[in-house]
A = this chain, B = another copy of it.
Amino acid sequence: MSSTSARRGTRLATDDWTDAALEVLRTQGRAGITINALCDHLGVTRGSFYWHFADLDALKEAVTERWCKDTGQVLEALAVLQQLPPVDRVRAMTMHLLDEGSSSIEVALRDWARTDAKVAEAVAEADRTVFAAVEQALVQIGRSAADARVLAGVLVYAGIGFAHGDHGLPRPTPDEVDRLLTLIT
């Protein structure tokens, strides 16, 4: 019962709850998020939660907001890639998707998105940003606007599908990614 949580003896800030929720999301998925579990993790009782949040929905909102900020930074990092040649840029984005161990958070959020309009809009926004980046790169490579749109669509949808489907399909190897990009660009 070693509750290795944030500072013991000190009172909690809203961020401590958000941190705990994100960690649980990552390790146990959506189902792991229960108020009792978070309370155990933080060493407080349930009433404490309700001082910081109106209800579980408010927690979701806070977690989502945090995720958006983080994702925004990742996307900014991608913007730096603008200096790279377009093909390398697409490859970098693809690779980022593949080795992202933290995609379990993304899956959990898309899960939430299905029953929560606010989460849905946040996820949609992120999707659109990625789509635009891929589309732009393909145009710069020299594809027609129509081709770029269609190809960016498959790529981004495939990315979403990949995040959801480590079930039965083989995980693409770096070599296969290269081959795909050669075929598509």
Contact = CB atoms under 8 A, between A and B. Distances in A.
Given A147-B183, A150-B183, A179-B150, A29 B114 contact: yes
Contact of A153 (B151, B156, B157, B170): B170
A128 B169 CA distance: 6
Given A153-B176, A157-B169, A161-B162, 15 more contacts: A110-B164, A120-B167, A123-B167, A123-B168, A128-B168, A146-B176, A149-B176, A154-B154, A154-B158, A157-B158, A157-B159, A157-B161, A160-B161, A160-B162, A160-B164
Nearest to A154: B158
Interface of A: 29, 31, 107, 110-111, 113-115, 120-121, 123-125, 127-128, 131, 146-147, 149-151, 153-165, 167-170, 172, 176, 179-180, 183-184
B167 A162 contact: no
B157 A162 contact: yes
Contact of A156 (B124, B131, B169): B169
Contacts of A160: 160-162, 164-165
Tell me the interface secondary structure of chain A in the complex.
helix
A179 B146 contact: yes
Contact of A169 (B120, B131, B162): B131
A111 B164 CA distance: 9
